[in-house]
């Protein structure tokens, strides 16, 4: 029987300390503020954005939603970002991805001021992260690091295998684990004989976006299994990338879906935003 890593509870603990910092800032005359830009009406993005706003307000932050129609031109979107870059009441800027096809995502992300890039997606933030310099870390992998820390999972010298190489999760995840002295292996859709590699993992991170993809054939007994996937199965039920019922009996630790990594992503967004607000006073 594995230890179930409770992301809801760990996220709640971290949010409490963020709320304390928000109060401290208010006493100094600053309300931490996050601006979220949503282009178009992708239903999943609408849900994510609503949850981000609710979470901000719940801990006393200011949140502003800029909702733009699907046909918005790139130049207009860039103008919105430039305005937010210079506003004193906005400490974090997040452009919800994916963007409509006619907009160049790279241009958009690079326009966000690094001081307000609370998603940690801009080339400057990514470069600093690679160099181990102080910067905003991307929220999902940062949240996974917190889950591992709160669960007392040792990382130094351990073999971490990452399944998935996205810019948002897989790539930065490996980098953060490497900085904690794990030995990191990346795997992806072109990897040959995936189970032979994932079976070597002391820490297995599943970030592929395929429901129930990881089964006990992929997992070494006693491994720590972190499931970053959020998928809907044929019954419209939320499931992860890991077949939980199959893997849980042999893992030492495992994150459930929902209630594992999911709640940590927004928590770390709030964390980055309050940090940005604190830095605005320095
Ligand atoms: N779309 C899916 N995940 C994310 C995220 O973490 N940040 C942004 N901006 N868009 C996303």
User: Measuring from atom 1 of ligand 1, which residue has the nearest CA?
Assistant: 97
State the average pLDDT over residues 204-227: 98
Does position 90 have pLDDT exceeding 90, yes or no?
Answer: yes
Contact between residue 51 and residue 266 where contact means Cβ atoms under 8 Å apart? yes
**What is the whole-number distance in angstroms between the Cα of residue 166 and the centre of ligand 1?**
12
Report which ligand 1 atom has the smallest distance to the Cα of 140. 6
When the pLDDT of each residue in the chain is averaged and rounded to a whole number, the result is: 97
pLDDT tier for residue 60 given thresholds of 50, 70 and 90:
very high
CA pseudo-torsion sign 95, 101, 102, 107: positive
**What is the whole-number distance in angstroms between the Cα of residue 265 and the centre of ligand 1?**
9
Q: Are residues 107 and 148 in the same domain?
A: no
Rounded Cα–Cα distance for residues 53 and 173 (Å)? 25
Annotated binding site for NADP(+): 164-166, 230
Rounded Cα–Cα distance for residues 234 and 236 (Å)? 5
Q: What is the pLDDT of residues 167-206, one digit of tens each?
A: 999 999 999 999 999 999 999 999 999 999 999 999 999 9
Task: Say what the pLDDT of residue 144 is.
Answer: 99
Evaluate whether residue 21 is within a structural domain.
no
Q: Are residues 182 and 80 in the same domain?
A: no
Rounded Cα–Cα distance for residues 274 and 34 (Å)? 9
Q: Are residues 73 and 184 in the same domain?
A: no
User: Measuring from atom 4 of ligand 1, which residue has the nearest CA?
Assistant: 97
Pocket of ligand 1 (CB under 6 A): 94-97, 119, 139-140, 168, 265
> How many domains in the chain?
2
Evaluate whether residue 91 is within a structural domain.
yes
Evaluate whether residue 179 is within a structural domain.
yes
Task: Say what the pLDDT of residue 201 is.
Answer: 99
Report which ligand 1 atom has the smallest distance to the Cα of 119. 7
Q: Is the ipTM of this complex over 0.90?
A: yes
Does position 1 have pLDDT exceeding 90, yes or no?
Answer: no
Is the pTM above the cut of 0.90?
Answer: yes
Q: Going along 72-152, which residue ranges are E strands?
A: 92-95
Look up the CATH number of the domain holding residue 73.
3.40.50.10860
User: Measuring from atom 3 of ligand 1, which residue has the nearest CA?
Assistant: 97
Evaluate whether residue 211 is within a structural domain.
yes
Task: Say what the pLDDT of residue 25 is.
Answer: 98
Q: Are residues 251 and 147 in the same domain?
A: yes
Task: Say what the pLDDT of residue 85 is.
Answer: 98
Q: Are residues 98 and 151 in the same domain?
A: no
241's CB contacts (< 8 A; 6+ apart) are 163, 206, 207, 208, 209, 210, 211, 212, 213, 214, 227, 228, 229, 231
Does position 5 have pLDDT exceeding 90, yes or no?
Answer: yes
State the average pLDDT over residues 128-137: 98
State the average pLDDT over residues 29-42: 97
Annotated binding site: 164-166, 230
User: Measuring from atom 11 of ligand 1, which residue has the nearest CA?
Assistant: 97
Does position 210 have pLDDT exceeding 90, yes or no?
Answer: yes
Q: Are residues 147 and 84 in the same domain?
A: no
Look up the CATH number of the domain holding residue 253.
3.40.50.720
State the average pLDDT over residues 132-161: 98
Q: Are residues 146 and 54 in the same domain?
A: no
Range of the structural domain that residue 70 is part of: 29-113
Catalytic center residues? 52, 96, 119
Does position 21 have pLDDT exceeding 90, yes or no?
Answer: yes
């Amino acid at each position: 029987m594995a230890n179930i890593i409770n992301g809801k509870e760990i996220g709640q603990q971290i949010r409490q300390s963020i709320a304390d910092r928000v109060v401290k800032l208010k006493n100094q005359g600053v309300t931490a503020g996050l601006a979220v830009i949503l282009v178009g009406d992708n239903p999943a993005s609408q849900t994510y954005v609503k949850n981000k706003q609710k979470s901000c307000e719940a801990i006393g932050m200011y949140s502003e939603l800029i909702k733009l129609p699907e046909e918005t031109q790139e130049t207009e979107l860039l103008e919105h970002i430039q305005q937010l870059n210079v506003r004193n009441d906005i400490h974090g800027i997040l452009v919800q991805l994916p963007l409509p096809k006619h907009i160049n995502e790279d241009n958009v992300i690079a326009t966000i001021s690094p001081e307000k890039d609370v998603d940690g997606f801009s080339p400057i933030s990514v470069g600093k992260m690679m160099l181990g310099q102080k910067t905003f870390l991307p929220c999902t992998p940062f949240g996974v690091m917190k889950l591992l820390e709160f669960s007392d999972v040792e990382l130094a010298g351990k073999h971490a295998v990452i399944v998935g190489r996205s810019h948002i999760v897989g790539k930065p995840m490996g980098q953060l684990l490497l900085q904690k002295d794990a030995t990191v292996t990346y795997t992806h859709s072109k990897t040959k004989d995936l189970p032979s590699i994932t079976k070597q993992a002391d820490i297995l991170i599943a970030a592929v976006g395929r429901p129930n993809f990881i089964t006990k054939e992929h997992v070494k007994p006693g491994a720590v299994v972190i499931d970053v996937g959020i998928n809907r199965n044929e019954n419209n039920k939320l499931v992860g990338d890991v077949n939980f019922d199959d893997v849980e009996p042999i893992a030492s630790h495992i994150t459930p879906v929902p209630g594992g990594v999911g709640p940590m992503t927004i928590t770390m967004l709030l964390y980055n935003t309050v940090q940005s607000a604190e830095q605005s006073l320095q």
